[in-house]
Structure 1
């Protein structure tokens, strides 16, 4: 079932644990996937991981979306020249380096780095990708449940997640009926390959491919869920 045949989708953070599984699902549904990463070695590993998928079309690009306004424009121009306007975009980026410490112990330097890695970079990514989408296209941004619920020891992640949630939903409201559609997908722990290998993945966690199935439906835009900007995928049966 090539649900996304003929559609071109860009994935920011494609080499991460979630990104690789989502990319795999999109390819299996027949999409042309433009997989972005700042690390060429990780892109090579992604190509090797997906070498057995014989549907869709994988294009990997070393690209940094975390740029100032002038840099964002340059990246946008390059992508537009090569691919035109995208049918969909998926943003699955972030850095948990500031976890496992109380807020009172967070230094100014760590605070500024966390804001840069987990908020500013997301804003810059959205600023780059949203104008590249077709008016009937869709962008899905992933974030964590700590945006809604306090997680002692991960407060700085929760604060930036809450700000990202506001950022994405505000942008969704601003686009409104003019398009593209913008979604915030709040997720719980995910059964990434790395977690499965380490033996810490639970059976009731979603797989990255499960996220990909749901996101492919949002991109198509023909379901009841696609009419709402905010969604949750916490755990199976939850």
Structure 2
């Protein structure tokens, strides 16, 4: 894939692990990246990391925005702030070519019966409700631009891993997966591509951990290829990145 100069992508979760790797690849390929976060400290850390990785010239294409999608009014405010970043558009994503949706707060619980309702609610807030607010705010305008709205997902949505304390995350991300499927069906036939990337990489501190089937450097290029590659219809598909040679497993959900 050649240069993405002139393309603009919103990457939520860019201050984390997978999101940062995707933002890095986008900058390397000359795209403009808009990275929202509720934490100025985490945005400063992201800027330092990306500056080390891509150099200061390409870092000039990174735009950071303070905001969150903790409730409807916050999501609307974030949309307005991002609109200011892309030329004052009233709709926050107008003029944006693609969006990477990566949200969620890790909530550990030793058992489901021992978990409180508040803990389950927190997991659902981070992985389901926040994604719904994000999609309500940005997906209609992504459709206007004919772009791709890419959900990021992990394998916890598809299986239970006993002993890891991740059952609440499995429940919440499984609900997020169904949200993706419902949104893909609802937007079928319009100009947006709504897809889901399920990465099986084991990433911590933006580095692949021992035993990871996928190196960290493979994640960003694979995701960016989904955003801008010349693929047959990806709408409504979950694409599983499972191996080091970037061979996906795609299963249509519509």
TM-score by length of 2: 0.82
Deviates more, 1:55-64 or 1:14-23: 55-64
Q: Which has the higher helix share?
A: 1
For residue 78 of structure 1, report the CA deviation from its aligned partner: 3.1
Q: 1:139 aligns with which of 146, 149, 152?
A: 149
Task: Tell whether 2:225 aligns with 1:220.
Answer: no
Mapping of residues 113-192 of structure 1, within 5 Å:
113-133=122-142, 134-152=144-162, 153-192=165-204
For residue 122 of structure 1, report the CA deviation from its aligned partner: 1.7
Deviates more, 1:71-80 or 1:29-38: 71-80
Task: Tell whether 2:91 aligns with 1:79.
Answer: no
Q: 2 CA distance for matches of 1:176 and 1:221?
A: 20
For residue 179 of structure 1, report the CA deviation from its aligned partner: 2.5
Question: Aligned residue for 1:65?
Answer: 69
Question: Aligned residue for 2:205?
Answer: 193
Q: Deviations over 1:39-83 (max 9, x none)?
A: 101111111111242337111111212322x43333223322431
Question: Aligned residue for 1:46?
Answer: 46
Question: Aligned residue for 2:219?
Answer: 211
Shift >6 Å, 4+ stretches: none
Q: Provide structure 1 residue ranges, at least 5 long, that are not aligned to the other structure.
A: none
Cα root mean square deviation, aligned: 2.2
For residue 24 of structure 1, report the CA deviation from its aligned partner: 0.6
Q: 1 CA distance for matches of 2:220 and 2:202?
A: 12
Q: Highest relative contact order (Cα 8 Å, sep 6+), 1 or 2?
A: 1
Q: 2 CA distance for matches of 1:150 and 1:191?
A: 19
Q: Provide structure 2 residue ranges, at least 5 long, that are not aligned to the other structure.
A: 87-93, 248-254
Q: 1:94 aligns with which of 86, 104, 109?
A: 104
Q: Deviations over 1:101-127 (max 9, x none)?
A: 121211112112221122211211222
TM-score by length of 1: 0.87
- Residue 76 of structure 1: SS of its match in structure 2? helix
Question: Aligned residue for 2:15?
Answer: 15
Report if aligned partners of 1:13, 1:93 keep a CA contact under 8 Å in 2: yes
Report if aligned partners of 1:18, 1:192 keep a CA contact under 8 Å in 2: no
- Residue 184 of structure 1: SS of its match in structure 2? strand
Q: 2 CA distance for matches of 1:108 and 1:203?
A: 33
Question: Aligned residue for 2:239?
Answer: 231
